[in-house]
Amino acid sequence: MAIGGDQGGSIRIPAAYCGIYGMKPTHGLVPYTGVMPIELTLDHTGPMTATVADNALLLEVLAGPDGLDPRQVNVKVDAYTTALGKGVSGMRIGIVKEGFGHAVSEGVVDTLVRRGAERFKELGATVDEVSIPMHLLGPAIWTPIAVEGATWQMMNGNGYGFNWKGLYVTSLIGAHASWRARADELSDTLKATILFGQYILNKHRGHYYGKSQNLARKLTAAYDTVLDRYDLLLMPTLPMRATKIPAPGDPRMDTISRAFEMLGNTAPFDVTGHPAMTVPCGMSDGLPAGLMLIGKAFDESTIYRAAHAFEQSHDWMKVTA
C-alpha cells in the first residue's frame, strides 16, 4: 500500500516493500488540503512509521476536519493511542480467501501472511477464512476511476480541476500545468495512463467512470456485509515482495508491469474508502512481506489494537520463509 495520496497504482514506494507500518485511513479522515491531488474520490493520505505506537500518535495529530477539504463529511476521530496494549482476545478476524493466490502472487508471501493470521489466533482472536468474491472485481472497478479520473483532474485539470469548494493551491496548479511543455519527462506509467484515459474519455465520454462509481457502492457493501460479523479483514498487502526497479533501456512493458501488478489487494480499498494498514509479518531472502488489516469506516482504533498486539508479540524480522 503506497501511503500518502494513495492511488494503489502510483509510483510511490509501497509501505509493504519497506517493512514499515503504513495506515491508509478512512477516506476523508485526514484533510487533503495542500496535497497534490490525483483523483479526489480515490486519494487518501496517512502516516508511515517504524512502529504502531508512532503511527497511532501521528494519526491523532493529522485526523479531523480542517474546514477546507469538502471530502470530510461526518468525520469521526478517536484517541487512537488508547487502543494500544489491549490485546486481541475476543476479536474476530476474517481471512479473505480472494486476497491470496493471484496470478502474480508469490507463494512465500501468502505463506508468511497465513502465519501472521495464525499468530493472531495464538494471541486469542477468533480467525476464520471468509469469501468475498467481489474483491476480485475491485481492480476492474478501480481502473476507470483511476485512469479517467486522473486524466481529467490531475492532467487536464492541472491537479485541482473544478467544481469543488476548498483550498486551491494556485502555485501548485501553475507549476503542474507546465507538464505540457515537458511531456517527454513524464514516466512511462503516467504516459500510458493518460493516453488510455484520454482515449476512453473521447470514445465513451465518462460512461465507464460513472459505471465504476456506481459499482463502488456494491463493492463497499460486499466488504461491509462481512465486517458486520468480523472486526477486521486480513489478506496480503501486496502479492509479491519488492521487485527490481527496471533499468534504463529495459522494455517499456516491464516498467508498466512492475507499477501495476501489485494493485490486486490495495486498489479495492481506495475505491471503498475503508481504513487499511500494512503490518510487516516476515522476511524472505532479505525482503519483507506485509499483511493488511482492513476495518470498518472510521474504526482505525480496532486496526491499531490488533496491529500493536501483533507487533509486540514477536520480532517479525525473525519470521522467515
Per residue in 220-263, pLDDT (tens digit) is: 999 999 999 999 999 999 999 999 888 888 999 998 999 899 99
CA distances from 207 to 163, 204, 300 (A): 19, 6, 34
Is residue 2 over pLDDT 70? no
Is 220 contained in some domain?
yes
Looking at the structure of the chain, the number of domains it has is: 1
> What are the tens digits of pLDDT across the range 24-65?
999 999 999 999 999 999 999 999 999 999 999 999 999 999
Amino acid at 157: G
206: containing domain = 15-318
- pLDDT above 70 covers a percentage of the chain that reads 95
Is residue 3 over pLDDT 50? no
Is residue 199 over pLDDT 80? yes
CATH number for the domain that contains residue 163: 3.90.1300.10
Q: And the C-alpha cell for 29?
A: 479522515
Residue 19: strand, helix, or coil: coil
Is 7 contained in some domain?
no
Is 258 contained in some domain?
yes
Q: What are phi and psi of 127, to 5 degrees?
A: -125, 120
Is residue 150 over pLDDT 70? yes
How much is the pLDDT for 14?
72
What's this model's pTM, rounded to 2 decimal places? Answer: 0.93
How much is the pLDDT for 9?
38
